[in-house]
Amino acid sequence: MSAGRPARLAVGVVSAGRVGAVLGAAWDAVGHRVVATSGVSRASVHRAETLLPDAPLLAPDEVIRAADLALLAVPDDVLPGLVRGLAAAGAFRPGQIVVHTAGAHGVEVLDPAVEHGILPLALHPVMTFTGRPEDVQRLTGCCVAVTARADDEAAWNVGEALVLELGAEPVRVPEQVRPLYHAALAHGANHLVTLVRDCADLLDKAGVRPAERLIGPLLSAALDNALRHGDRALTGPVARGDVGTVRTHLRELDRADPELADTYRTLARRTAHRAAEGGLLPDHAADEVRAALDDSEEHR
């Protein structure tokens, strides 16, 4: 195999979840061949039929035995046990490339397979997946975290080549920082969805509709500004030190949804900290905001 461009590979996908089916289809589209996949749930079987129509559904160990490139696309907590089980079953063989997509793990989790002579890689696409055909196109231009053993430059190159074939951008993420890397992404992407849906639900509760149409341009601009300008993009009553408005917000939120009001307090404290650290909010104003948050919490 060339370190610059992988040879055409027989790909086995365990399993046909949202990520596995899409990555398998993407590699198939650039000349590799998905020879088998696994799936038990109705949704997985449907994804396999849609995205990997020529791949038979087999048991996971049979999928691995049929593959030159074995893709383990299972949840983070499932991966260690799966690797141990497949290794114990003798499913791996020398020379195989074994890739997993679990964001929180590096390649150490593949050590039971390494004992069988495989090349271990962790490839984590920095993208949300629906498991639909359009995800294949969305891979183009996204970043993919690549992790290999620190002393194996050839493995790093293979991982990067597999990513480049998808039209994506490889980013090297060392083993020791994978958990923090994944925590950062989950905090941003997952909690962003929660925040947006809480915003929409509050507007709907207030009778202001359609909430999504109302907030779409605002939130898109806020995200764009945050990415372009960093903390300078901060705006609103907390960043301005408008304590009276903050108190009004908390009064209304405590009435509408006390749990959500607690979330507002937590994020407002964080916003005040960032605004003060960035020189946008004078220290005395930041202290006044924090005092208002504390006072509202004590007297709700």
What pLDDT does residue 36 have?
A: 98
Question: Maximum Cα–Cα distance for the chain, whole Å?
Answer: 68
* pLDDT tens, per residue, the chain with 300 residues: 444 556 799 999 999 999 999 999 999 999 999 999 999 999 999 999 999 999 999 999 999 999 999 999 999 999 999 999 999 999 999 999 999 999 999 999 999 999 999 999 999 999 999 999 999 999 999 999 999 999 999 999 999 999 999 999 999 999 999 999 999 999 999 999 999 999 999 999 999 999 999 999 999 999 999 999 999 999 999 999 999 999 999 999 999 999 999 999 999 999 999 999 999 999 999 999 999 999 988 777
Reference 284, options 243, 244, 245; nearest CA is: 243
Domain ranges for the chain, please list them: 10-173, 181-298
Q: Work out the burial of residue 102: count CB atoms within 10 Å of its CB; fewer than 13 is exposed, 13-18 middle, 19 or more buried.
A: buried
Distance in angstroms (rounded) separating the CA atoms of residues 100 and 103: 9
| DSSP-assigned states of every residue in 251-291 | HHHHHH-HHHHHHHHHHHHHHHHHHHHTTSS-HHHHHHHHH
At 241, phi and psi to the nearest 5?
Answer: 80, 25
Common-topology check for domains 10-173 and 181-298: no
d(CA 130, CA 133): 9
Task: List beta partners, residue 113.
Answer: none
Tokens representing residue 275 in the block: 């605004």
Judging by beta carbons within 10 Å of its beta carbon (0-12, 13-18, 19+), is residue 73 exposed, middle or buried? buried
- Provide the token pair at 280: 């946008």
At 296 the pLDDT is: 83
Identity (one letter) of the amino acid at 223?
Answer: L
* The two three-digit tokens of residue 288, written as one number: 């006044």
The pLDDT assigned to 1 comes to 45
Please give the pLDDT value at position 5.
55
- Cα angle 156, 158, 161 (rounded to 5 degrees) comes to 110
Angle CA(46)–CA(170)–CA(81) in degrees, nearest 5? 55
CA 224 to chain centre: 19
CATH of 181-298, one of 3.30.2220, 1.10.1040, 3.30.70, 1.10.730: 1.10.1040
Distance of CA 233 to the CA centre of its chain: 24
| Measured distance CA(59)–CA(62) in Å, rounded | 5
Confirm if 168 and 157 have CB atoms less than 8 A apart. Answer: no
User: 54 and 25 in contact (C-beta within 8 Å)?
Assistant: no
pLDDT of residue 120: 98
Please choose, from the candidates 150, 135, 201, 144, the residue with its C-alpha nearest in 3D space to the C-alpha of residue 170: 144
Say how far residue 186 (Cα) sits from the centre of its chain. 6
Q: What is the fold of 10-173?
A: Rossmann fold (3.40.50)
Backbone φ, ψ for residue 269 (5° rounding):
-60, -40
pTM of the entire structure? 0.91
**Considering only CA atoms, which of 189, 146, 150 is closest in space to residue 165?**
146
Q: What is the pLDDT of residue 188?
A: 97
Residues near 198 by Cβ (< 8 Å), separated by ≥ 6? Answer: 260, 263
| pLDDT on residue 257 | 96
The full length of the chain comes to 300
